[in-house]
Structure 1
Amino acid sequence: FIDREDEIGIVSQALVEMKEDLERQESIKEEMIHNISHDLKTPIALIQTYGQSVKDDIYPYGDKNSSMDIILENAERLEHKVKSFLYLNRLDYLQGENNELGTFDMKQLIEKIVNQMDALKPELTLKTDLEDVCFIGDEEHWRVAIENIIENATRYAKTEIHIILKEKYLEIYNDGDHIDQETLPFLFNPYVKGVKGQFGLGLSIVSKISSMFGYQVHAVNQETGVSFIFRKKTAL
């Protein structure tokens, strides 16, 4: 590093910052690969162990059907994790493309998702306050983002989920426990452990989709419960 205040010093400082940023990104990438490898090992090991046991006519869960159910459940877990990882990589690729972005009816999309979720979680109250609003981007990608947040909310909500849609603004609230303050700034990083020890790629996917279409997403602890808020980025 050259300690000067002229153009050479400015360029030197920029190069140092660029080097540090690349090293930081490389460290994050290595940690993510480590976490993915660790996350895949458990279902693979269970499938192998239970599969061999059933082949040897030994049933760890008491009978053949129960033991096979464990194998199938972990196969589904493995499939979900691999699909999430591939989808995240696809988003990285799409972010580098110069695609023309259209708009779609966000109110209509949310109503479709809520109707489906309502049937799956009858014990929770799903309330909506939706204006007729269009969002920028691809409807199917936004569906993935919103379903991830609502599914996340259904795991933690005690009694209700409330969705508010306005111009350039979407809020998905649940009345569950607060998110730890130390976790909040890193919540959308891949494999950050959240409430109840849950971790994975879901919130990272949400963040990438939002950013790709010019929106920001962040989590806020309310007086009671937690809100995930999407806002349109303002031009500088």
Structure 2
Amino acid sequence: MMDALKPKRLMWKIWVLILLIIVTLALMILITVRSSITQFIDEQVYETLRDVDYYLGNTNELENYPQNPIEYDRRQQESRSVNQLIFLPNGRIIYGSAPLELTNRMYQEALNQSGQVERYQTTIDGEDVYYIIRQNEYDGTIVYQASYAWDAYRRELVSTLYLRISILIGIISLLSLIPALLMSRQLTKPIVEMERAVEKISNRQWETALPLDRQDELGQLAHSIDAMRKELKEQDLAQQALLQNISHDLKTPIMVIRGYAQSIGDGIYPTGDLKGSAEVIDEEASRLEKKVVDLLYVTKLEYFKGQEMKLEPINLDKLMELLVARFKLRGQLDWEINGEGGEMLGDGEQIRVAFENVLDNALRYAESCIRIDLHQDDAGVEITIFNDGPPVDESLDLFHQFSRGKQGKFGLGLFIVQRIVTLHTGEVSLRNTGDGTAVRFYFPRLKSNQPLNSNA
């Protein structure tokens, strides 16, 4: 029922929009037509009044028109619709007649008239009347000649025109229902389909098909929704894998801690003494803490996604020396630092965490040595961390958020590295070198006043 009502609601909105356009255009046309017709009729009336006034005042001109029967007939017709009134400055009418109110107005305007010929318009008893007053002189006497005509058809013409346009607007408005209905169906059908598809997607039905066979904005929206569906599907599968991996990887240290704690509570020391058993509990607790810290740090990095970060100078040479000095204590390996990295701009804490994660992996898999190569130029700085451990499976996306290493444990370390590098508009890659593996960092030169805002 709701699906059937939605297209109708949109149809009425489209129809109202079309009606508004039609009414607006109609009003503009009516205003323009009314003004144009009124002005045209006024000009035609005054033109007729001037012609008749001139030719009636010059009878010898009329004698020439029998040679042109059409023009003569037109002048005769015009002269029948135009009335004449001739009066003297003292108000005495010597020719013609007119209503007293009109006569008085003509007389007052004739006395105030400055030019030889002027035109006027007035309304008497609701009827419009047009007239011109010509000032002549006969035998030294001033005579006023008024030619006037009543507006017998302008109002009727405008009213009829308005009525016909109104009827036309009504017919067009009714006919506009048809394109409004067709347009609304064309628009609402894919929208309803996408709504149903999105509802299924929200219920994790990832194989839902979308109406993609369109080249307009709705088609682009469908493509965007489909891209979101695929991304959500990947995220959902990855999250399921994460939950399985976390439950598996966290279960072991938790069981060890509980087992050791219960044994100690019963007076039994699995390693032979209390100190050794406590060290095992502490080691397993450290593993749990590392995984929880990584998860929290991923959440923190997701918060920084799209946020501006303030840049600060980072001395890469000094940072690497401090990290190597700390990691040397955790194993009997040869450490080597080559080249100089100089300074780069970025978030010091994040850059340190990225290098720590890579060095921690290198320390875990290296057999005898770890080498750090630093190189800088005007474009940027490159850091490569090499270890002589076993090769990695390059077909795996080890920088993915929920990737698993060859030991089957979920890893967030390299994902954190990739996210940090991306936030600094840099690049990171991992490759086999034949005698080990290497992780390459590259950071472009950034300006001190350039904020970082990554949406990757």
The answer for the alignment partner of 1:180 in structure 2 is 393
For 2:230 and 2:402, locate their aligned partners in 1 and report how far apart those are by CA, in whole Å. Answer: 22
- Asked if the contact 2:335–2:369 (Cα under 8 Å) also holds between the matched residues in 1, the reply is yes
Map Cα deviations across residues 31-77 of structure 1 (whole Å, 9 max, x no partner). 32332233222212221222112212233333433333322221222
Aligned letter for 1:182? S
Change in Cα spacing, 1:20 to 1:82, as seen in structure 2 (3 Å) is same
For 2:264 and 2:416, locate their aligned partners in 1 and report how far apart those are by CA, in whole Å. Answer: 37
**What is the TM-score normalised by the length of structure 2?**
0.47
Aligned letter for 1:83? V
The answer for the alignment partner of 1:214 in structure 2 is 425
The answer for the alignment partner of 2:249 in structure 1 is 39
Q: 216-225 or 131-140: which moved more? A: 131-140
Higher RCO (C-alpha under 8 Å, 6+ residues apart):
1
- Asked if the contact 2:431–2:439 (Cα under 8 Å) also holds between the matched residues in 1, the reply is yes
Query: Alignment partner for residue 2 of structure 1, among 196, 203, 212?
Result: 212
How do 1:108-123 residues align onto structure 2 when only pairs under 5 Å count?
108-121=318-331, 123=332
Unaligned residue ranges in structure 2 (runs of 5+): 1-210, 446-456
Residue 219 of structure 1: how far off its partner (Å): 0.4
Residue 187 of structure 1: how far off its partner (Å): 0.4
For 1:173 and 1:133, locate their aligned partners in 2 and report how far apart those are by CA, in whole Å. Answer: 20
Q: 214-223 or 91-100: which moved more? A: 91-100
Map Cα deviations across residues 102-154 of structure 1 (whole Å, 9 max, x no partner). 33221221122123333443x32222222243223112221111122112112
Query: Alignment partner for residue 15 of structure 1, among 225, 236, 240?
Result: 225
How do 1:104-143 residues align onto structure 2 when only pairs under 5 Å count?
104-121=314-331, 123-143=332-352
For 1:118 and 1:78, locate their aligned partners in 2 and report how far apart those are by CA, in whole Å. Answer: 23
Change in Cα spacing, 1:21 to 1:147, as seen in structure 2 (3 Å) is same
For 1:196 and 1:139, locate their aligned partners in 2 and report how far apart those are by CA, in whole Å. Answer: 31
Q: Paired residues, what number?
A: 232
Query: Alignment partner for residue 228 of structure 1, among 416, 422, 439?
Result: 439
Aligned letter for 2:304? L
How do 1:10-159 residues align onto structure 2 when only pairs under 5 Å count?
10-121=220-331, 123-159=332-368
- Asked if the contact 2:362–2:386 (Cα under 8 Å) also holds between the matched residues in 1, the reply is yes
Q: 193-202 or 157-166: which moved more? A: 193-202
For 1:196 and 1:32, locate their aligned partners in 2 and report how far apart those are by CA, in whole Å. Answer: 15
Residue 198 of structure 1: how far off its partner (Å): 5.3
Runs of 4+ in 1 over 4 A off after TM superposition: 195-199
RMSD: 2.4
Residue 196 of structure 1: how far off its partner (Å): 4.6
**What is the TM-score normalised by the length of structure 1?**
0.86
Aligned letter for 1:175? D
For 1:28 and 1:196, locate their aligned partners in 2 and report how far apart those are by CA, in whole Å. Answer: 18
- Asked if the contact 2:373–2:385 (Cα under 8 Å) also holds between the matched residues in 1, the reply is yes
For 1:8 and 1:140, locate their aligned partners in 2 and report how far apart those are by CA, in whole Å. Answer: 44
For 2:399 and 2:291, locate their aligned partners in 1 and report how far apart those are by CA, in whole Å. Answer: 17
The answer for the alignment partner of 1:161 in structure 2 is 370
**Secondary structure of the structure 2 residue equivalent to 1:2:** coil
Q: Percent identity?
A: 37
Residue 233 of structure 1: how far off its partner (Å): 6.5
The answer for the alignment partner of 2:384 in structure 1 is 171
